[in-house]
Amino acid sequence: MNLNKIKLTRMEKGLTQQELGRICSVTRQTIGLIEAGNYNPTISLCISICKALGKSLDELFWEEN
């Protein structure tokens, strides 16, 4: 999972980890762990992050080989 896409998109939207976490009903720490690649989010959380950032699942979570 290319988690830098999540961090970059979040920053482009001007959101902090805290703000994205609040929108997605998770903690700032959870967002930090996802961005660092240390937490595997559920599909429900992935969808929530995508909606909050205005991106598709493919755009944020698809791994390019």
Whole-prediction pTM: 0.89
What percentage of the chain's residues is helix, strand, coil (to nearest 5)? 65, 0, 35
Residue 63 resides in a domain: no
For the domain that residue 43 is a member of, what is the CATH number?
1.10.260.40
Number of domains forming the structure of the chain? 1
Tens digit of pLDDT per residue, the chain (65 long)? 455 899 999 999 999 999 999 999 999 999 999 999 899 999 999 999 999 999 999 999 887 76
**What distance in Å separates the CA atoms of residue 54 and residue 17, rounded to the nearest whole number?**
16
The token pair that represents 35 in the structure block = 């961005």
Q: Domain range spanning residue 18?
A: 4-55
Residue 47 resides in a domain: yes
Residue 28 resides in a domain: yes
Residue 61 resides in a domain: no
Phi, psi of 61 (to 5 degrees): -115, -10
Residue 41 resides in a domain: yes
